[in-house]
Amino acid sequence: MISQKQRQGQFQKQVQTQQQKLSPQQIQYIKMLQMSTQHIEQRIKEEMETNPAIEDIDSGTDVYDTDGGSEYEKIDAADPDIPESDSPAVDDDLDVDWDAFHSDNSEGYSSSTTWNPDAPDWMDIPAPYRETQLEKLEQQVLMLDLTEKEMLIADQILGSIDDDGYFRREISSVADGIAFQHGMPVSTDEVLHVLQLIQRLDPPGIAARNLQECLDIQLSMLRSDTPGLHEAKKIITDHWEEFEKKHFEKIIRRMGITEDAFHDAYDCLRMLDPKPGSFETAAADAGNFITPDFEVYYEPSADDEQQGEFVITLNRRNMPDLIVSKSYEQMIADMARRKEKNKEQKEAQLFLKSKIESAKWFIEMLYQRQQTLLAVMQTIVNIQESFFKSGKNVKPMILKDVADIVSLDVSTISRVVNGKYVQTAFGVYELRYFFNEGITTESGEEVSNLEVKNILAEMIELEPKDQPFSDQKLTDILKEKGFRVARRTVTKYREQLRIPTARLRKSII
């Protein structure tokens, strides 16, 4: 007899399913694989601070290399055999949600390290202090002789300037913010007045609300006898939309000026800075250093240069050589020999045992991480042999190609190569640089899409500036060179190279 609830579809059903979950050790190992050299150094430091059972051997002997250690863990790339650990691998190509542990804030480690007292002195030299743009503007604002209310407005404006030097906040929100925080009524006209004062500070055009206003401010501060100044002001104020779209012929026709006059105006506009705050970002970037995780160099044979071998080194810059504390192991052995133990002694024994097990696991994970990184780097070098010899001819290669060779999951390879760099004889490259899809030429040869992108960028660089090539024209030229590429693919490559469309690349000679 079917009940009323069953007719309505409300009934219980038991279903048995299988779900694969990562153990905490596996999660930590995956995170360690993702870390760069600088981050893993900090991770080791934190582990040594929290686990007294881990010690630095501090004897120059590498805990991973019985023949003696050095700053790098070294292998011969010609040798296909990678030493394996006796412990079970933590990566078993698990079908899991890899993003589940990305939300853990513990993976964001600081890059500062102080491990190796023999490290070069320059590694400990702090970056020179540079006065920030905000500090420079604050000093200039103090010279404007503003009232207390105007200083509050100026403070709000300066704090809202972005990296490009623009003020993109609504005027009314500044007035409302001051009224709410300081209980002082402020009108939008008062905010606009202070904003206009700041916009004429150094650099000119700072705190502009858009590009048009930024250029207009800079034009107003040029000498009156600057060639093309009058026409340049009219272009910005009356023909901005046409100028933005680079419809130069239309501007010349509507303004009723000669091409020479337009050339002068165009040259005047080219002197202006569209991003008056970008120098701050450039200065900050100049102080950032990349620490390569690998070094790869080619050693030619004494008899035949073509019969040489690659040497791959894994950077272990400031990483100490770790061992399990002998004193802790001795304490465990002494406690085990005691026949009678009170509660405190049992708890102490459990504590020591957990710390020793944790230390052994951590050291083993460091070893597995090194072997995995070296195996991946060796595979990349073997596939991209021609590049590491000559600095040219990157072959088509995807993550799966490497994953199949080293018998790891594609997602694991992705985490190994992400954010890691290799020092070569031709410069420092991110490992992601070597992964790209292939394109078949007219002759049937498969080439990297990176090569096609380089050719495309070179073609655009050499194109006529007054008549830039359309995507279809670029496609036709590539076809003449033997590359069978669709127009939509050319468009995709151009966008990946951050090159604008032909209309926006148009310029005047």
Q: pTM of whole model > 0.75?
A: no
Tell whether the model's pLDDT for residue 358 goes beyond 50: yes
What amino acid is encoded at 206 in this protein?
A: I
Position 9 confidence tier, pLDDT thresholds 50, 70, 90 = low
Cis ω for the linkage preceding 203 (within 30 of 0): yes
Residue 317's CB is within 10 A of a number of other CB atoms, namely: 18
pLDDT tens figures, 360-377: 888 888 888 888 889 999
Please measure the distance between the N-terminal and C-terminal CA atoms of the chain and give it in whole angstroms. 90
Mean pLDDT, the chain, whole residue set: 77
Alpha carbon separation from 314 to 64, 71, 77, 107 (Å, rounded): 13, 9, 12, 21
The pLDDT value given to residue 105: 36
CB neighbourhood size of 60 (10 A)? 9
Looking at residue 194, its pLDDT comes to 94
- Give the 3-state secondary structure of 13-30: CCCCCCCCCCCHHHHHHH
Compute the distance between CA of residue 22 and CA of residue 24 in angstroms, rounded to an integer: 7
Share of the chain above pLDDT 70, in %: 75
- Count of CA atoms in the C-beta half-sphere (13 A) of 341: 15
Q: What is d(CA 459, CA 477) in angstroms, rounded to the nearest whole number?
A: 9
At residue 51, does pLDDT exceed 60? yes
Report the helix count and the strand count for the chain, using DSSP H and E. Answer: 22, 9
391 or 86, which is more confident: 391
Model confidence at 379, in pLDDT bands (50, 70, 90)?
Answer: very high
Lowest-confidence region among 145-154, 280-289, 295-304, 389-398: 280-289
**Structure confidence at residue 213 (pLDDT):** 94
